[in-house]
Amino acid sequence: MYLIRSTFYWLSGLLILPSLGIAQTVSEIPIETARTAMVLRVDADRHVTTVHLGKRLTQAADYARLPGNPRLYEGYSDLYSSAYTPAGSRSLLEPAVQATHVDGNPSLDLVYVRHETKPVRDGVTLTDVYLKDPQYPFEVTLHYQAYRNEDVIEQWSTIRHTEKKAIRLAHFASANLYLTAKDYYLTHFHGTHASEVRPEETKLTAGMKVLDSKLGTRAQLFQAPMFMLSMNQPAQEETGDVLAGTLAWSGNFQFAFELDPQHNLRLLAGMNPFASDYSLEPGKAFDTPALIYTFSNQGTGLASRNLQRWARKHRIPQGEGNRLTLLNNWEATYFDFDEPKLVGLFKEAKTLGVDLFLLDDGWFGNNHPRNDDFAGLGDWQANKKKLPHGIGYLVKEAEAAGVKFGIWVEPEMVNPKSDLYQKHPDWVIKLPNRPDAVFRHQQVLDLSNPAVQNFVYGVVDGLLTENPTLGYIKWDCNAVIYNAYSSVNPADHLYVDYVRGLYSVLEKLRAKHPAVPMMLCSGGGARVDYGALNYFTEFWPSDNTSPTERIFIQHNYSYFFPAIATCNHITAWGDFPMKFRTDVAMAGKMGYDIVVSKLSPADLAFSQQALKTYDRLKPVIWQGDQYRLQSPQNNDVSAMLFVSEKGDRAVWFSYLVSTRYKAGTDQPPIRLKGLQADRQYKIREINLAAGQKSPINSSLTYSGDFLMTVGLDPAVSGQRTSVVLEVAEAGSAGW
């Protein structure tokens, strides 16, 4: 510290950096959006600390008055609030970065060099803060991409050095945040197959709470890379300070929440350093994935609207574009189909009224036919027995029936019973001296190997190139990585290189096929993150398609992901009326996975009408602001509202989620949100089953003020287990 002081000095607010020949006035570095600010401070020793993460101050000059860390003790306590905590020197807390230099020195210090803020595009700025070790040619750049209108910050870091040989990185966080509050309540989302993203809220206590994954590929099976931190009180939907964050990374991740001795909260987020020491060559940049976060002073509701809007406008391909309704055959046929059966299903898809037919698992493999999940993965040739005329024929037949054709793939995986495994055992992730370990009877291909990347790319590119009108790809991923070891790339960082390999394949595919809709699937929702959603238009939240379960699952994903990307399929799971199944699926990107020919005439007619209604309502559901009016976690009736940006239209879904006696009846009215208080609205019930009469009087007019202050009872009951209401400004066309 004193050595640094003697090398660099301050002159009335002007920091002189003699070795770099730079003179720059530094004090605070504000990273601002319309309503929030993250403020860094360069202290007298040129360490960079976080002094604010919260509401933006109206007077920029006030940032200089932020107290920062008020109680500094002797020793290392000034590093508690480090913007990127280095390991091995004076910090004794969880590090953001840890490196061993070529000379064996295991320490780092990072001091400010300079920063710059530049526009990226309208409403988006990038602030880069350059840090350097005074003793070593080792640098870190902190990147903060701020999205003004959405109040979202995307933060990542770049590590590089020019030492003589490779150095070892043991920690490499994307972000190191610092928050000050009386108490911190952490909500995280965990589960397993068919019970994804169950929320749990915990008050953080002294010490460290770690959320992570070590599964490799189907990495989010048990823990999703997303969290909400509520300051001072348990999270509320409409009030209170909340930080919601999610890591854009489809592999192992780690969030460490550490309460420091002063009861401030340090957050370290990034790729999981577990079994991932990285040897970084001189001159090479090591980029971490981004932590995407938003701060809301109006509870979790505003936080999720910020993230959803950001995702639609800035992240998900065609986030403001169209989506196709579809009929998927997985739950309807499983592996049991052939050409005539499929051609019949295309006609049924047309009768139903969807845009596309999606052929799921089971269409490939010849020496090892994929007639169950024990064989065939890796052999991506159409099975000659089931599909003698190949995929091209199916595309043509579907189109002749009046629907587009889409197809399922799982190109990262291999069954030991496959030609691919026999031909390229070295392409498989496994340990040479351990028995093969399978998950769903399959293993993971080594995507750190460029030859495997080419193969995976070729599988999907081949399908799209040979069938230029192929309308949809469902990309599945069902196994975790066991026996993590790459025979061609035996370095320790397979977990990191795997995901990078996957992204490079997806990057190349998207460059060649920018428009094709692609569904992200991982045996349900075990890979839903904004790293993968750079490339995918939508995701499969869960294999659990029971509507009573989906109400919860969809609700929980909605904290981070928009409805347009959330695939909700109407299936035969559970014994529920078609209306209930449809009302639940409609609150997102609707699809079907049923045997259309088995529908009663009434259910078929209802579904045909529902698809037309959906077509009319989808702009509001997909692009509107989502308000969770009542949570299914602690109410008999859960309710969710989508409001158009102009506030002139809304769609309101209410579901009965309790089977207790009289549940749902005698409820107080539900207050709407997001409408214009001074405008007049009409409300009508839609998706009525045949013969059903609505108790909602559609001739009445309500002010927005009334609907938001007093509310309305949607009249959910044991006889009306789901209710969909359309809200429109009085005088709107079609009313």
Residue 472 binds ligand DGJ, judged by CB under 6 A: no
- Closest CB to ligand DGJ among 251 and 524? 524
Among 30, 317, 416, 523, binds ligand DGJ (CB under 6 A): 523
Query: Is 360 among the residues that bind ligand DGJ (CB under 6 A)?
Result: yes
- Total residues at interface with ligand DGJ (CB under 6 A): 11
**Binds ligand DGJ (CB under 6 A): choice among 172, 227, 330, 653:** 330
Cα–Cα distance, 719 to 713 (Å, whole number)? 15
Query: Which of 151, 379, 476, 636 is flagged as catalytic?
Result: 476
Of residues 270 and 525, the one with the C-beta less far from ligand DGJ: 525
Kind plus residue range of the DSSP H or E element containing 203: strand 195-203
DSSP string, 356-404: EEEE-S-SB-SSS--SSTTB-TT--SB-TTT-TTHHHHHHHHHHHHT-E
Residue selected from 540, 557, 606, 653 as contacting ligand DGJ according to rule CB under 6 A: 540
Cα–Cα distance between 336 and 322 in angstroms, integer? 32
Of 250 and 478, which has the nearer Cβ to ligand DGJ?
478
Q: Does 133 bind ligand DGJ (CB under 6 A)?
A: no
Q: How far is the CB of 477 from ligand DGJ (least distance, A)?
A: 9
Walk across the sheet containing 14-17 and list its strands.
9-11, 14-17, 22-25
Contact (CB, 8 A) for 590 and 614: yes
Which residues, other chains included, contact 295 with Cβ-Cβ below 8 Å and sequence gap of 6+?
36, 53, 54, 55, 151, 241, 242, 243, 303
Selected range binding ligand DGJ among 376-384, 521-529, 659-667, 681-689, rule: CB under 6 A: 521-529
* Residue 545 CB partners (closer than 8 Å, separation 6+): 331, 569, 570, 571, 573, 593
Quote the CA–CA distance of 217 and 278 in Å, as a whole number: 19
Q: Which stretch binds ligand DGJ (CB under 6 A): 465-473, 517-525, 597-605, 620-628?
A: 517-525
Contact between 337 and 278 (Cβ < 8 Å): no
CA atoms 87, 91, 94, 95: torsion sign? negative
Closer residue to ligand DGJ in complex, CB, 524/714 = 524
Min CB(574)–ligand DGJ separation in Å:
17
Stretch that binds ligand DGJ, among 224-232, 250-258, 516-524, 578-586 (CB under 6 A): 516-524
The minimum distance between CB 542 and ligand DGJ, in angstroms, equals 8
Span 379-408, contacts to ligand DGJ by CB under 6 A: 408
- Residue 539 contacts ligand DGJ per CB under 6 A: no
Interaction between residue 364 and ligand DGJ (CB under 6 A): no
Note if 615 is an active site residue. Answer: no
As measured in angstroms, the least distance from the Cβ of 47 to ligand DGJ is: 48
Asked if residue 551 lies in contact with residue 721, where contact means CB atoms within 8 angstroms, the answer is no
Among residues 245, 317, 353, 524, which is the contact residue for ligand DGJ, using CB under 6 A?
Answer: 524
x/- letters, 406..445, toward ligand DGJ (CB under 6 A): --x-------------------------------------
> Of the two residues 330 and 439, which places its CB atom closer to ligand DGJ in the complex?
330
Concatenated DSSP letters of 266-289: EEEEEE--TT--EEEPTT--EEPP
Of 83 and 345, nearer to ligand DGJ (C-beta) is 345
If you write DSSP's letter for every residue of 13-29 in order, what string do you get? TEEEEGGGTEEEE-SEE
Residue 376 binds ligand DGJ (CB under 6 A): no
Q: Which residue is nearest to ligand DGJ (CB)?
A: 361
Catalytic choice (361, 543, 583, 648): 543
Residue 478 lies near ligand DGJ (rule: CB under 6 A): yes
**H or E element at residue 451:** helix 450-466
Cβ count within 10 A of residue 160: 17
Whether 543 is catalytic is: yes
The answer to whether 543 contacts ligand DGJ (rule: CB under 6 A) is yes
Q: Are 401 and 456 in contact, with CB atoms under 8 Å apart?
A: no
Q: In a 10 Å sphere around its CB, with 0-12 CB exposed, 13-18 middle and 19+ buried, how is residue 57 labelled?
A: middle
- CB of residue 326 to ligand DGJ, shortest distance in Å: 12
- If one asks whether residue 476 binds ligand DGJ (CB under 6 A), the answer comes out as yes
What residues line the site for ligand DGJ (CB under 6 A)? 330, 360-361, 408, 476, 478, 521, 523-524, 540, 543
Residues identified as active-site: 476, 543
